[in-house]
Amino acid sequence: MDKQKPFPEHNIAVQKKLPRTVVVLGLVSFFNDFASDIVAPLIPILLASVLAAGPVALGLIEGIADAIASLLKLWSGRHSDLIGGRRKKLTLAGYLLSNTARPLLGLAVSWPVVLLLRSIDRVGKGIRTAPRDALVADATPSHMRGYAYGFHRAMDNGGAVAGSLAAAAILAWSGLDLIEVILWSALPGMVAILLLSMGIKEENIGNKKETTSEAMPSLPSLRWSLLSRPTQRYLMVLMLFTLARASETFILLLGYQLGVGVVELLLIWSAMSLAKAITSTIGGQLADRYGRGSLMLISWVAFAVSFLLFGLVTSSSGLWLVSIFYGLFVGLSEGAERALISDYAPPLERGTAFGWYHLAVGLAAIPAGVLFGTLWQLHSAPLAFFVAGGVAALAAILLRLWAWPARETPLH
C-alpha cells in the first residue's frame, strides 16, 4: 500500500475521497458492532427473563461499564500522543479485549457477572476509542472530518443493523437459544481484529514517522484548566446531555414490558440502527458545509422530542415509529460531535483531546443510567423518559446560548 502524502492546507479543497485508513477503520467498526449488536440488544432481555433483574440493574451495568470505558479513554488517548501518535497497537488491544469478553456474557449466571463481563468489554472500548478517533483525524484533511466521522458512525451503525438482524434470524429459524446466539458473536469480532491487524500499516497512519522520546515535543500537563474555554463549555454541555442520553437498551426494555416479542425487538433495534446509519454520513457532510453546531442543535432537539414520545408509547407500532424517528435524528449529529473535538485540538494533542471528550461523557454515564433506572423502577417508565427529554432540551438551549461552536471556514 502506498504511503499517504501529507495534505498541505492550500491543497485541502481538492481532496474529496476518504483516506484508506478511514475506510479500513470503518470496516473494523462495522464488524465489531456486528458482534456487539448480536449481544447488546439481548442484555436487557437476558436480565429480565433469565436472571430476574430489573431496570436499576440494567442502569447500573450500562452506567458503570460506560464510565470505566471513558476513564480509560483519557489515558489511552494521552498515551497515544506521548508515544508520538503511534495509535494502532492501543486500538488493536482494545478490540481484542472486547471481543474476548463479550461472547462470555452467554455464560453469565447472575447480573453481577454480567456487570463484570460488560465492564471488561468496555475496558477494551476505553483502550481503543480515543486513539482510533485520533487516527481518523490524523488521516483526514480538516475540511472533510465531519464526513469522515459521519462515515465511521454510518459503518458502526450498519454493523449494528447486521448484528441485530442476524440475532433475530438465528432466534427465529435456527432453534438456538439466547445463550448460544451470544456465544456465536465471537466470529464477526475476530473478523474486525484481523481487518485492523492486516489492513493498516503503522507507518501509514496519520503520516507519522518513526520518532524517539527525545525528539518528541513535551505535552502540556493533563489539567482541565489548560483546555480552551470553548472546549470546556462544549464538554460541560455534552456532560449534561449525556445525563439524558441513557442507554438505548432501555428502549428495548420498554418494548419487552409492553409485551413485544424478542425477535420483533431485535428488528426494532435493527431499524433504529439503520436509521442512524442512513443519516450519519449525510449529517457529517452537512456539518462540514453548514457548521457543526447547527446539526447538533437539530439532533438534540429531536432527541428531546423522541424521548418525550417514548414516554407516551403504549403499543409496538408506536415503538417502531418513535424508534425510527429517534434514529434518523440522532444519526445527524454523530459526525459533528466528534469533528468538533478535532477542530479544537492541535495535531500533537488529538489523542488527549478525544480522551477528555470521552472522559467528560463517561463521568455522566453512571448517574445517567442509575437515575433513569431508578425513576423507572420506583415510579414509571414514562416519567424516566419525560425527565430525560427535559434534560436534553435544557442541554440544547445551553449549546445554543452558551457553548455555540465557532463557524467553520466554508468550502470553496
| Whether residues 258 and 182 fall in one domain | no
Instruction: Say if CB 295 and CB 287 are below 8 A apart.
Output: yes
User: Which of 59, 189, 35, 75 has its CA nearest to residue 114?
Assistant: 59
Q: Higher model confidence: residue 56 or residue 317?
A: 317
Residue 93 and residue 237 share a domain = no
d(CA 335, CA 321): 24
In a shared domain, residues 337 and 250: yes
Q: What is the pLDDT of residue 348?
A: 64
Mean pLDDT (whole number) for 296-306: 90
Q: Which helix (H) or strand (E) holds 324?
A: helix 316-344
Q: How much is the average pLDDT of 312-329?
A: 92
- Asked if residue 47 and residue 172 are part of one domain, the reply reads yes
Domain match, 173 and 42 both = yes
Residue 201, phi then psi, degrees to nearest 5: -95, 140
Are 270 and 251 contacting, i.e. CB atoms less than 8 angstroms apart? no
Confidence class of residue 218 from pLDDT cuts 50, 70 and 90? Answer: low
188 and 238 fall within a common domain: no
Residue 209 belongs to some domain of the structure = no
* pTM for this prediction: 0.69
- Length, in residues, of the chain: 412
Q: What is the pLDDT of residue 6?
A: 40
User: Does the residue 5 lie in any domain?
Assistant: no
Range from 11-25, 179-193, 274-288 carrying the lowest mean pLDDT: 11-25
* Confidence (pLDDT) at 324: 93
> Is 215 part of any domain?
no
412 belongs to a structural domain: no
Q: Can you tell me the mean pLDDT for 208-235?
A: 60
Cell of 364: 455522566
Least confident of 122-136, 149-163, 333-347, 383-397: 333-347
Q: Is residue 3 part of a domain?
A: no
Give the confidence band of 52 by pLDDT, cuts at 50, 70, 90: low
Question: Which class for 85: exposed (0-12), middle (13-18), buried (19 or more C-beta within 10 A)?
Answer: buried
Which helix H or strand E contains 363, and what residues bound it?
helix 350-363
Mean pLDDT of 140-159: 83
Say yes or no to pLDDT of 350 above 70: no
- Report pLDDT for 302: 92
Verify that 85 and 132 share a domain, yes or no. Answer: yes
DSSP state, 312?
T
* Residue 217 within any structural domain of the chain: no
Asked, for residue 53, whether it belongs to a domain, the answer is yes
Q: Within this chain, do residues 241 and 275 fall inside the same structural domain, yes or no?
A: yes
**Are residue 247 and residue 385 in the same domain, yes or no?**
yes
Q: Which of 93-107, 285-299, 306-320 has the lowest mean pLDDT?
A: 285-299
| Residues 238 and 343 reside in one and the same domain | yes
How far apart CA 139 and CA 21 sit, in angstroms, is: 7
Number of separate domains in the chain: 2
Amino acid at the residue 381: A
Residues 259 and 352 in one domain: yes
pLDDT score for 281: 80
**Residues 275 and 140 both lie in one domain:** no
Residue 409 has pLDDT above 60, yes or no: no
Mean pLDDT along residues 32-58: 74
Looking at 202, 235, 260, which one is the last position of a domain?
Answer: 202
Contact 305, 389 (CB under 8 A): yes
What residues make up the domain containing 38? 19-202
Predicted confidence at residue 7, as pLDDT, reads 38
Secondary structure (DSSP) of 196-256: HHHH--GGGGGGPPP--TTTSPPPPP--GGGS-HHHHHHHHHHHHHHHH---THHHHHHHH
**pLDDT value at position 212?**
41
| Residue 373 vs residue 345, higher pLDDT | 373
Return the higher-pLDDT residue of 122 and 345: 122
Percentage of residues in the chain with pLDDT exceeding 90?
A: 15
191 in a structural domain: yes
Q: How many CB atoms lie within 10 A of CB 98?
A: 25
Give the CATH number of the domain where residue 69 resides: 1.20.1250.20
Tens of pLDDT, residue by residue over 171-183, are: 888 777 777 888 8
Which among 114, 97, 95 is positioned nearest to 105, based on CA atoms?
114
pLDDT at position 407, please?
53
pLDDT band at residue 361 using 50, 70 and 90 as cut-offs: confident
What per-residue confidence (pLDDT) applies to 31? 94
